Structure 1
Amino acid sequence: MRFVPVALAGLLTASAVAQPKFLHPDRVRYDGQCFTIDGKDTFLFSGAFHYFRCPKALWRDRFRAIKEAGFNAVETYVAWNWSERKPPVETGDFSQINLRDLDEWLTMAEKEFGLYTIVRPGPYICAEWATGGFPNWLSQFRPAQVSPSTMWFRGDDPFFMDWSRHWMEAVAKVVNKHQQFRQPMGGHGVILWQVENEYDFAGQPESAKRNYVRDLIKVSQKNGIEVPIFGCWTRIIRDPKGDPILSQAFDNPNQYPRTNIEAVRGALEDQHLAQPWAPKMVTEFQGGWFGQVGGLAAEEQGGIDDRQINALTLYAIENGLTALNYYMLFGGTNLGDWAAEGITTSYDYNAPIREWGGTGPKYRAVQAIGKMLEKYGADLARSEEAPAPTGTPPANLKVAARLGRSGAHYLFVRNVSRTEAVSGTVLGTVECHLEPFGMNVFRYTTDPSKGEWLVQPVGVPRVAMPPAIPIRTAEAAIAEPAGWKVASDGSTTEKLGVYDSRFLFFRTEAKGAGKVLFLRTAGGELVSSDPNQPRGLRGGLVWERPSADMRFVFFNPGWPNGGSAMELPHGLVGASLLDEAPSGATISDWRGRIISGPEDRSLVSSAVDTSGWTRGLAPELFASHTTSILRTTVDIGGKVDSNAILHTDGVDDEGWFFVNGHLVGELHTYDVPADFAVGQYLHPGKNDIALIIRNNDGPGGLSGPLSIEAPFPKGREVKVMWTDRTNVGRYTSYDLGPSAGILRNEHPKIEGPRPNGPLQVRSRIRFARPKGEGVAWEIALHAGGDGFLTLNGQPLGRFWEVGPQRGFYLPPSMLRDENVLELSVIPGRLGDRITAAELRPLPMKE
């Protein structure tokens, strides 16, 4: 009963807020139903295509597929780190920015293919892209007075906002000439400009959010952006509290419901309740999902197939959606090391247009909707909800109706069963057959017998596939670090001026018998060729009996795409020689269960029996929008250090930490390491540890192990040398194993520490350009180790022995008549080189 007054209050608040003023209403405007472009009501049918995830030579093919599917718009993020790879001198220095590819991409979309464009410059883009799009050099400008616990990125610190203005100004100047009002009437240009991205989840206080977003809108307008400005999941725009700047934008949800398509209705209603003058729009409408290192590839995941995208889209249109942007329409490839930490090289997304440009049932599903919208989109954009037909429909059929401005009736017919097809009649005489989870739209004017079913996917003949081509031999060599330099100003990537994830080699001189070498690392894995295995401790490694000359390779897994961890250094943070090893105990053997929320502390007590709880860190404990409690015990022996700390590498998204029932610390920003003083709460022997984790969205859980540790004794500094260069030894040929058993995606069991051995091994294969009509090609690999792939010297992506990706797309623009593919790895549990390889065709139409 409380819903009614809340809704009325929302309407009163919304109607009292200043509504957006359009600077060019004759060219681009919107109202509570739809966009009007050049005087024509327009159903905005768009999809994401990131120009930086696709070689330029392939853009035209991808645009052609988009246009042929009936889309009238295309969207892209603009990645700051892709465009400004080296640090400028100061915020007024634009000499390092290169946005030519954005300019060319917009021109091709608008002029050659007649597509409207949507630009999302961030500065934060997420996108499963390294550092969420922020340049890694940006954190070196973080003021020293900013608290270590404060997230500087995406906040309202004046220095950070200066840098954000620097970026937004640069992009706006390129986009300015592309705006719709600068094109001839009836032409195509930029129609929408987004500021920030998914800001509701940034972990910033509301005052900072308001200041920052206001500033982004102001700098956009100051630099010539005069098309409508919008946000996604940025609720301060929905509730601007009378702010005249925030009131000039509108906000939209993102929707990734998989098969729970009914969730879309609530999101659209919530958006429209707050902004009744803006159309129902979804900025990111589920086009698939990304693949994760050690997890599932996109094509292995459920709930993102052709039936889902058809039902999701039509159900949203049934509920008044008039503007959508599939994320992704074409996913592409994370070439080189641009993938965010934990994201596969392939960004295929199982999108309608596949990574290699292929199209199949999912493409044909959106193409059928696109053809419907080409013909009736304007009428649907101005349609109103109408009463459903009288009568009882067949079991499992749900029927809804909309009435177009033309007077046409649109009947939305949905099979709610996920397992059974349904046949029957609607409107008395209209035959209907829907497969499980099927949905269609029937249009008629006055006589249903003269109506038509609008969504009609067209099949295509399958192309005969050429055979796979096994590769029989390879060659390998050891790469030794060379060109050592003194790390005089620290050994993190930031201090060394390294802004990517290349291999870094370190060398220490640890002289002194009986000493202990401690190396503190951040954001990656340090591997030594020393025969003595180190033990991990508090973000670092301890060698009890170090050699006098120690050599290491630092393996950087990439930067996360969100949270404060985007700002953290990667590399070797410090090196010291100690007289004795610090004590510590790693916390493990967790049991967990889902609870109602973090305020529920009833299960923290050690008196609560956990025998029936889930063992280990099961993924379901950290599902999106879930709160769970974890419990375990840790034995610290017979002595308690009063200065002991509880160390954590962080949680995703929020955490509450308990020792023997006492709350010792909280974290409200994800993936941030922390130390909590716990000495006063410990006692000899076993101690009870509890942790409550709330996951607000996306993947969640622990960012790394927890430990109870004593403070470090004082030590003396150790001289550190570093290099990113190697001398490659002589390549030795060897035979490869059978390739027929390689799967595109595999999930090997990886256990134990990395073996001792060389710091880097390179293996390579040679092959002629594969031939075949109507196909693309990939290389399928079995290999050990973790590292980087190159094709003819150009970066192809990252290889992870843990999987899942084993098939790597070979862009034709990178192929030559004779080719060399090389894998550079740190040795792993499955070996240190390519062991089997095969060229395999990928269908362009299926």
Structure 2
Amino acid sequence: MKGHNISIVGDKFMIDGKPLHIISGSLHYFRVPAVYWRDRLHKFKAAGLNTVATYVEWSYHEPEERQYNFEGDRDLVRFVQTAAEVGLHVLLRVGPYICAERDLGGLPYWLLGKYPNIKLRTTDKDFIAESDIWLKKLFEQVSHLLFGNGGPIILVQVENEYGSYDSDLAYKEKMRDLISAHVGDKALLYTTDGPSLVGAGMIPGVHATIDFGVTSQPTEQFDSLFHLRPAPGPLMNSEFYPGWLTHWGERMARVGTNDIVLTLRNMIVNKIHVNFYVFFGGSNFEFTSGANFDGTYQPDITSYDYDAPLSEAGDPTPKYFAIRETLKQLNFVDEKIEPPQPSPKGRYGAVPVAAKLSIMSPKGRCDLGKRYEDVSGGTLPTFEELRQRSGLVLYETTLNETEGILVLNKPRDLVFVFVDGKPQGVLSRMHKKYHLRISSTAGSKLSLLVENQGRINYGTLLHDRKGILSEVIYNNKVIGGKWSITGYPLETVQFNSSVSEVTQGPTFYEGTFVLPEGQKPLDTFLDTTGWDKGYVWVNGHNLGRYWPGVGPQVTLYVPGVWLLEAPQPNVLQILELNKPSDSSTMEFIDNPILNRTGNLHAWKFP
């Protein structure tokens, strides 16, 4: 149906001439299988929300240059249409930078490889040109879903918290114009920034909103905005935090329910529009977790549970029901919609696994490795220059000296050091460990296996290239000879496991399991207790990183839709980078473990 209109009149959003008080929650379609979108969105509606907000992740749809994907779990059009069918408006946060605790803030890694001198989030001609190409491709998909064209998208966000990064007006206006060229008057443009940074982030002609968490005085958060725009239009907290993000080695972030509902009530009574960030978090599957930097490199955990009202598995929490009750009292809940209940979970038990393939073995290199061109000199190519998104890269050379000190001043991020195939230790950006004593003989092979733990997604260190960014120094001399390079992108994991080849170093373990006869597959959680550090695949789906000894996350969420019914066997593959479990099993349990206290500084390599 054509001819819909959204506008701002005074301090109100008007939908076809009627006021709309936005009660929204964030759900990122790229953090949950598409099969579950309708379920999660229905739970939004049942809680009293009338809108869903989602980022659009550029790197999810263009993981490699000009290789676009809008199908399956990446079918953004289907997600937006599903939201409309459920009865929700949509806030589309198109960036192109989104942060979101995702690798490189959602920007595609290949920008850093294609353009060595690119300056992201600026008027840099290459960044603008690539952003323009991407936005054109994106809006080819979603323009018909803008509100003025009959779709559910009422607001489109320009950039994301730019005031926390810079205040370049020329860049802000350029991004506004690129997006406005596609949106026109079919939806409203908006920005979001922290209360004290709104002046740096706001853009002429674009509705300014702010973001903040629990507070007893929500109206005071808008003081800076009122000072800058005496008639700011509808007040909106477009990121109201019912939880928070968590890094490896921290305690799981928590926000109290009572504070949330008191702040929520206060905002609604004062006519403040609200978007929960996040109402449902989901998971950072495979290599998509990002990182922060606050004096120390801080990689994000795999779970994006976020202490949100809906859990990582999509179950309503006590926080959900408290929010629903508050919205019910304020007449936002449709009581004809039954409140949701937690879904049953599978407890499938321990799965025995056996060592199958060490990635540095000849077979491992052949089956899983990608040989790049040799290089000479003191500068090694980065993941981005090699056009490898994530996984591992192995740099190898010959040593001409005996025992000494190896120095890498810029490991990005974790470097496993081997001499003649024997482990020597690790160098770690996170641990700020840059020196290591190693033993060698003349002619020994030095192997440096680098793990990318996630590119920084927030702040001024955004240009976070991976690999070894400094010279490799041994006994105070730069190793400048010939280096061979083998990449392990691990985008897919396919090898003949009937023929094992196990040596030292990171190793794949494999096992199979069959679900109970006659039972539909259920969501479950994989307990990585006893294992050290690595990645897990179930039926080819990469569940993400595990690191239980560092914590706080111990389990990995396994969507039931990725499992096979009996009698078909399910395949469990574990890439253990360090030390396997003594039990040689990994167990499927029916509850998450996200709050186990670990010890980052006690973690070590054999």
- Would you call these one fold, judging by a TM-score over 0.5? yes
The yes-or-no answer on 1:331 pairing with 2:281 is: yes
Structure of greater Rg: 1
1:827 to 574, 578, 581: 578
> Aligned Cα RMSD in Å?
3.6
Q: What's the CA shift for 1:216?
A: 0.8
The yes-or-no answer on 1:284 pairing with 2:173 is: no
- Do the aligned partners of 2:42 and 2:86 also contact (CA within 8 Å) in 1? yes
Distance 1:485 1:267, change over 3 A: same
Q: What's the CA shift for 1:199?
A: 1.2
Q: What's the CA shift for 1:783?
A: 2.9
The yes-or-no answer on 1:485 pairing with 2:371 is: yes
Q: In structure 2, how many angstroms separate the alpha carbons of the residues matched to 1:717 and 1:215?
A: 46
Q: What's the CA shift for 1:44?
A: 0.7
Report what 2:50 is aligned to.
Answer: 72
- Do the aligned partners of 1:238 and 1:250 also contact (CA within 8 Å) in 2? no
Deviations 1:608-642 (A, max 9, x none): xxxxxxxxxxxxxxxxxxxxxxxxxxxxxxxxxxx
- Do the aligned partners of 2:523 and 2:561 also contact (CA within 8 Å) in 1? no
2:160 to 183, 197, 200: 197
Q: In structure 2, how many angstroms separate the alpha carbons of the residues matched to 1:558 and 1:133?
A: 11
The yes-or-no answer on 1:295 pairing with 2:189 is: no
The yes-or-no answer on 1:565 pairing with 2:461 is: yes
Report what 2:93 is aligned to.
Answer: 120
Q: What's the CA shift for 1:806?
A: 1.6
TM-score of the aligned structures, taking structure 2 as reference length? 0.81
2:111 to 138, 142, 160: 138
2:220 to 266, 274, 277: 266
Question: Which residues in structure 2 correspond to 1:581-596 (within 5 Å)?
Answer: 581-582=475-476
The yes-or-no answer on 1:167 pairing with 2:134 is: yes
Q: Secondary structure at the match of 1:248?
A: coil
Which structure 1 segments of 5+ residues have no match? 1-23, 89-94, 147-151, 378-454, 583-712, 733-756
Q: In structure 2, how many angstroms separate the alpha carbons of the residues matched to 1:35 and 1:563?
A: 32
Q: What's the CA shift for 1:525?
A: 1.4
Question: Which residues in structure 2 correspond to 1:408-557 (within 5 Å)?
Answer: 468-471=347-350, 473-481=352-360, 482-483=365-366, 485-488=371-374, 490-500=380-390, 502-511=391-400, 521-530=410-419, 531=422, 533=424, 540-541=434-435, 545-547=439-441, 548-557=444-453
Instruction: Give the counterpart letter for 2:555 in structure 1.
Output: G
Deviations 1:502-549 (A, max 9, x none): 122232122356787655653111112335846969985565643522
Report what 1:708 is aligned to.
Answer: none
The yes-or-no answer on 1:311 pairing with 2:262 is: yes
Question: Which residues in structure 2 correspond to 1:686-835 (within 5 Å)?
Answer: 716-724=480-488, 758-769=504-515, 776-801=523-548, 802-817=550-565, 818-828=569-579, 831=580, 835=584
Q: Secondary structure at the match of 1:169?
A: helix
Report what 2:176 is aligned to.
Answer: 217
Q: Secondary structure at the match of 1:108?
A: helix
Distance 1:570 1:834, change over 3 A: farther
Instruction: Give the counterpart letter for 1:499 in structure 2.
Output: R
- Percentage identity across aligned positions? 23
Q: In structure 1, how many angstroms separate the alpha carbons of the residues matched to 2:539 and 2:416?
A: 28
Instruction: Give the counterpart letter for 2:414 in structure 1.
Output: E
Q: What's the CA shift for 1:225?
A: 3.7
Q: In structure 2, how many angstroms separate the alpha carbons of the residues matched to 1:539 and 1:376?
A: 53
Q: Secondary structure at the match of 1:552?
A: strand
Report what 1:360 is aligned to.
Answer: 317
Q: In structure 2, how many angstroms separate the alpha carbons of the residues matched to 1:104 and 1:163?
A: 25
Q: In structure 2, how many angstroms separate the alpha carbons of the residues matched to 1:514 and 1:285?
A: 55
Question: Which residues in structure 2 correspond to 1:658-669 (within 5 Å)?
Answer: none
Distance 1:349 1:776, change over 3 A: same
Q: Secondary structure at the match of 2:92?
A: strand
Q: Secondary structure at the match of 2:141?
A: helix
Distance 1:34 1:468, change over 3 A: same
Q: What's the CA shift for 1:220?
A: 1.3
Question: Which residues in structure 2 correspond to 1:591-670 (within 5 Å)?
Answer: none
Q: Secondary structure at the match of 1:174?
A: helix
Report what 2:82 is aligned to.
Answer: 108
- Do the aligned partners of 2:51 and 2:91 also contact (CA within 8 Å) in 1? yes
Q: In structure 2, how many angstroms separate the alpha carbons of the residues matched to 1:369 and 1:53?
A: 27
Instruction: Give the counterpart letter for 1:787 in structure 2.
Output: G
Deviations 1:291-349 (A, max 9, x none): 32111234xx2x333x232112002223331x111111111111111011321111111
Q: What's the CA shift for 1:493?
A: 0.3
Instruction: Give the counterpart letter for 2:515 in structure 1.
Output: R
Instruction: Give the counterpart letter for 1:28 in structure 2.
Output: I
Q: In structure 2, how many angstroms separate the alpha carbons of the residues matched to 1:53 and 1:554?
A: 26
Q: What's the CA shift for 1:30?
A: 1.7
1:345 to 282, 302, 309: 302
Q: How many residues align?
A: 550
Which structure 2 segments of 5+ residues have no match? 292-298, 593-606
- Do the aligned partners of 1:80 and 1:134 also contact (CA within 8 Å) in 2? yes
TM-score of the aligned structures, taking structure 1 as reference length? 0.59
Instruction: Give the counterpart letter for 2:576 in structure 1.
Output: V
Q: In structure 2, how many angstroms separate the alpha carbons of the residues matched to 1:143 and 1:721?
A: 20
- Do the aligned partners of 1:47 and 1:326 also contact (CA within 8 Å) in 2? yes
Higher relative CO (CA 8 A, sep ≥ 6), structure 1 or 2? 2
Instruction: Give the counterpart letter for 1:108 in structure 2.
Output: T
- Do the aligned partners of 1:761 and 1:832 also contact (CA within 8 Å) in 2? no
- Do the aligned partners of 1:288 and 1:351 also contact (CA within 8 Å) in 2? yes
Instruction: Give the counterpart letter for 2:354 in structure 1.
Output: E
Q: In structure 2, how many angstroms separate the alpha carbons of the residues matched to 1:772 and 1:255?
A: 44
Q: What's the CA shift for 1:836?
A: 5.2
